[in-house]
Amino acid sequence: DAKTTQPNSMESNEEEPVHLPCNHSTISGTDYIHWYRQLPSQGPEYVIHGLTSNVNNRMASLAIAEDRKSSTLILHRATLRDAAVYYCILRPPNNNAGNMLTFGGGTRLMVKP
Amino acid sequence: EAGVAQSPRYKIIEKRQSVAFWCNPISGHATLYWYQQILGQGPKLLIQFQNNGVVDDSQLPKDRFSAERLKGVDSTLKIQPAKLEDSAVYLCASRGQGLNSPLHFGNGTRLTVT
């Protein structure tokens, strides 16, 4: 499986935008880029996904580089409730294991008031 | 819609004892996953079911771990006998139809083996 590289941790101030980077230089042309986050003492939750074009939803925006070797999750105004571990995951469209997700270590986002 | 339910929330056992975890996925979700998350690490897939059939159990330590989903709905994960290194959070997730439908996770069972 193609791997992703994320910083171990990042800090942000409350109500400021946050850009969480992810490198995936070995991404294949059909891999989708998924982001999940895990709040303390909870299971991971889906944030957003994309293939080539930038994507927006109520939680965040996903900016995908033109060569698809990197992507950035954007939280437009961080709140204290956004403090979590954010996982960037590549998901093949139809892998033999049936579309499981392989998690890396993620980025721990700390939000300061 | 109701989320993925897991129980118990916490469990403490001694090594060599056995333990079982229960998961009730979101109604209608055919795909169910069990993940193990050791403190400070990302979740690691143990087993994936499609209805009541196993899709992938390549990372399940089959000498001590077992899982079943007899009627294609609820699932149980069992460890027998437990080792100290099994201390972790065990997460259950389910997924609906569609290639990129998201996984919905429960809040997990935190297992401590002493």
Across the interface, do B55 and A98 touch by the CB < 8 Å criterion? yes
Using the Cα atoms of residue A29, residue A32, residue A35 and residue A41 in order, give the sign of their dihedral.
negative
User: Across chain B, what does the average pLDDT equal?
Assistant: 95
Q: What is the mean pLDDT of residues A15-37?
A: 94
For residues A86 and A64, what is the distance between their CA atoms, to the nearest angstrom?
A: 16
Across the interface, do A97 and B56 touch by the CB < 8 Å criterion? yes
Higher pLDDT, A32 or A99: A32
Q: Which of B97, B46, B72, B23 is nearest to A97 (CA)?
A: B46
> Which residues does chain A have within 8 Å of residue B44's beta carbon, measured at their own beta carbons?
103
Least confident of A90-99, A100-109, B68-77: A90-99
In this predicted model, what pLDDT tens digit does every residue of A68-87 receive, in sequence order? 999 999 999 999 999 999 99
Nearest CB among A46, A97, A105 relative to B41 is that of A105
- Percentage, residues of chain A above pLDDT 90: 81
Higher pLDDT, A30 or A55: A55
Q: Which site among A58, A100, A103, A107 would you substitute to test the B interface, given the most B Cβ atoms closer than 10 Å to its Cβ? A: A100
Higher pLDDT, B99 or B36: B36
Q: What is the mean pLDDT of residues B59-78?
A: 94
Instruction: List the helix and strand counts (H, then E) for chain B.
Output: 0, 11
The size of chain A, in residues, is 113
Does residue B98 have a pLDDT over 60?
Answer: yes
Does residue A96 have a pLDDT over 50?
Answer: no
Q: What angle do CA B4, B7, B10 make, to 5 degrees?
A: 125
Q: Which residues pair with B6 in a beta bridge?
A: B23
Q: What is the mean pLDDT of residues B68-89?
A: 95
In this predicted model, what pLDDT tens digit does every residue of B15-39 receive, in sequence order? 999 999 999 999 999 999 999 999 9
Joined tokens for residue B79: 């460890």
